[in-house]
Amino acid sequence: MSNRLYSAGSVFLFGLIAIGLLYLPLLDAQIMRHEEPRRALIAEAMIMEQEYLVPVFKEQVYAAKPPGYNWLIIAVSAPFGEINEFTIRFASLLCLIFLLATMLFLLRSYLDPPALTFLGAGIVLSPELMRKGTLGEIDMMFTFLVSSALWLWFYFDQTKNNHARWVLPGILIAIAFLTKREPAFVFYYAGLGAYLLYQRRFIELFLPAHLLAAVITLSIVGIWIWAMIDTAGVEVLIGSSINEVANRGLKGDLQSTMTHLVSYPFEIVLALFPFSLTLVFFLHQNTREEAFKRYGDLLTFALIIATVNFPLYWFTAHSAVRYYLPMTPTLLVVSAVLFTVARTTAPSWLINFSRAVILLVAILSGVLVAYLLAGKLELIKLPSPVMHELLGQSLAIIMFIGTVTLAVKSWDGRFTLIVFCSVMILYRVIYYDVLLPRQLDKFSYERAVEQFVQDVYDTVPAHALPIESPATIPHEVWWYMNYGDLTTAPRTYRIQFETEPVEALAQMNWRGRTIILTQDN
């Protein structure tokens, strides 16, 4: 036990180092985008109005999502004195760190060190977890809470702690509901219900321990629901649920639905690539049988909760990978188990496959080194670097030397994990030094929000604030205007999408559309 605790602690430490090098330094490299300004605006409104239960967005009650993630933003931002790009994304990064720690701690008794190492690497370096862990959106917090609730239940179920098995996960799932509403209960009870049904223990859902936990869970959730009904009315709350289902679940014709059915499993695999590649070993009979022999209850639990929740998003057109994100840590548990078992049972092509991939990574590392060196010598023109120039070059050189060394060494199965980690570290360096700089250049043209906001302030006298703006104007504009400087009420100055030729006092391009500031005569 002490050896496994030491292994879990070591993996967590290396995970923190990777997060510190690859994610933390550049959290604020881009302006807020997509859903980030909405989360920041709601959190700031809570602070300004001292109302923490009923979210308000653009001067209206916001019923689509509860305030859970906004609370986290406020808590993380408090030491910094303000909500900004760094703090809103650091809230998600903290959830990724909490997810890593929780999964390693809860599974340390059931996975041996190679499997724990694989699991930790997968959580830190999988593309979708990597992306969501560095965005100021609710998905990473929701994933942490749902995964922790399910695996905490399994942990206490194995240790026969009946009341803790229901009460503590029930509290976590209540907080998950306060983050993303109904999907929290769907993931939790669909997974546990199917597992208990498989084990012929379904009656346990109706025993006093669970009923007590359900009362606690519903009481926590009920506080927010009561506040929402008291402020906005039951019609608004129910209407938001119907609207979410209508907008996300019922869209799509037959062709788009069939396309989604074919593509969605591959999208999930790519979201966890390359760690998801080990899932193919489930098709290898000897590996599968050995996996169930060594990890019976753990593997059964993981497969059931991941499988039973999959059809809900698989058969729903336009369901993004992020909707299934809470199940990705569980899929990584399955991948970790198969990786460990396959080291002794898998066919010999695994070694050849790993060698081929590491050779490809070595070539790509060499190309990256040459690319960065050419930019340094001004042989080619590169965008302004985002990652510190020395750090990017050093990581690229280390990757090149390391992968070439691996490629010429004697191989066995454990090198597969090194290959996977090398692929994702190389991808992260390429993202910072090649992709992100070009993305920022594109944003400076398509989303020059900060310059537009400055032009507005230079044009509009202070006594004329706030400025009229419809709710359809991008969230970014609302955010980068100071809190309270925009309103939906009629005003002399207003911001709008250009609908007809008018004299613009200030304007910006937004994805091919023009946003202008005008003044009534």
DSSP string covering 148-189, please? HHHHHHHHHHHTT-HHHHHHHHHHHHHHHHHHHSTHHHHHHH
- Tell me, what's the pLDDT at 250? 53
Sheet containing 486-487: give its strands across: 486-487, 467-468, 493-497, 513-519, 506-510
Cα–Cα distance, 27 to 76 (Å, whole number): 14
- Tell me, what's the pLDDT at 96? 96
Question: For 363, phi and psi rounded to 5 degrees?
Answer: -65, -45
- Tell me, what's the pLDDT at 190? 94
**Cβ within 8 Å of residue 520, ≥6 positions away:** 492, 493, 494
Cα–Cα distance, 12 to 102 (Å, whole number): 10
- Tell me, what's the pLDDT at 219? 94
Examine the pLDDT at 512 and tell me if it is beyond 80.
no
Angle (CA) 466-468-470 rounded to 5° is 135
Contact 436, 385 (CB under 8 A): no
Examine the pLDDT at 369 and tell me if it is beyond 80.
no
- Tell me, what's the pLDDT at 149? 96
- Tell me, what's the pLDDT at 173? 96
Question: For 295, phi and psi rounded to 5 degrees?
Answer: -130, 40
Cα–Cα distance, 202 to 190 (Å, whole number): 12
Going by C-alpha positions, the residue among 309, 298, 285, 283 that lies closest to residue 337 is 298
Examine the pLDDT at 101 and tell me if it is beyond 80.
yes
**Cβ within 8 Å of residue 356, ≥6 positions away:** none
Give the model confidence (pLDDT) of 375-388 as tens digits.
Answer: 666 666 666 555 55
- Tell me, what's the pLDDT at 49? 87
Give residue 211's pLDDT band: very low, low, confident or very high (50, 70, 90): very high
- Tell me, what's the pLDDT at 443? 63
Give residue 334's pLDDT band: very low, low, confident or very high (50, 70, 90): very high
Residue 447, SS3 per DSSP = strand
**Residue 436: both structure tokens together:** 């992100």
Cα–Cα distance, 451 to 238 (Å, whole number): 40
Which residue did the predictor score with more confidence, 254 or 99? Answer: 99
- Tell me, what's the pLDDT at 228? 87
Beta-bridge mates of residue 487: 468
Cα–Cα distance, 108 to 115 (Å, whole number): 9
Beta-bridge mates of residue 468: 487, 494
Residue 137, SS3 per DSSP = coil
Provide the Cα torsion 470, 135, 184, 197; round to 10°: 150
Which residue did the predictor score with more confidence, 70 or 233? Answer: 70
Examine the pLDDT at 155 and tell me if it is beyond 60.
yes
Share above pLDDT 90 across residues of the chain, in percent, rounded to a whole number? 31
Give residue 214's pLDDT band: very low, low, confident or very high (50, 70, 90): very high
Give the model confidence (pLDDT) of 415-463 as tens digits.
Answer: 666 667 777 777 777 776 666 666 666 666 555 788 888 889 989 998 8
CA atoms within 13 A on the CB side of 193: 9
- Tell me, what's the pLDDT at 30? 79
Beta-bridge mates of residue 506: 517
Going by C-alpha positions, the residue among 254, 271, 162, 138 that lies closest to residue 210 is 162
Give residue 18's pLDDT band: very low, low, confident or very high (50, 70, 90): confident
Give residue 503's pLDDT band: very low, low, confident or very high (50, 70, 90): confident
Cα–Cα distance, 463 to 461 (Å, whole number): 6
Examine the pLDDT at 112 and tell me if it is beyond 90.
no
Angle (CA) 201-210-176 rounded to 5° is 110
Examine the pLDDT at 411 and tell me if it is beyond 70.
no
Contact 105, 8 (CB under 8 A): yes
Going by C-alpha positions, the residue among 135, 196, 476 that lies closest to residue 325 is 135
Examine the pLDDT at 150 and tell me if it is beyond 80.
yes
Examine the pLDDT at 209 and tell me if it is beyond 60.
yes
- Tell me, what's the pLDDT at 279? 84
CA atoms within 13 A on the CB side of 288: 8
**Residue 7: both structure tokens together:** 């292994």
Q: Among 79-88, 111-120, 441-450, whose mean pLDDT is lowest?
A: 441-450
Measured CA distances, 53 to 32, 33, 152, 224 (Å): 24, 25, 27, 6
- Tell me, what's the pLDDT at 243? 66
Examine the pLDDT at 252 and tell me if it is beyond 60.
no
Pairing state between β 467-468 and 486-487: parallel
- Average confidence (pLDDT) over 327-335: 95
- Tell me, what's the pLDDT at 384? 59
**Residue 78: both structure tokens together:** 């408090």
Which residue did the predictor score with more confidence, 1 or 408? Answer: 408
Q: Among 129-138, 279-288, 357-366, whose mean pLDDT is lowest?
A: 357-366
Measured CA distances, 300 to 293, 297, 310, 383, 438 (Å): 11, 5, 15, 49, 45
Cα–Cα distance, 361 to 422 (Å, whole number): 7
- Tell me, what's the pLDDT at 397? 72
Provide the Cα torsion 496, 502, 503, 507; round to 10°: 40
By CB neighbour count within 10 A (0-12 exposed, 13-18 middle, 19+ buried), where does 490 fall? exposed
Cα–Cα distance, 96 to 90 (Å, whole number): 10
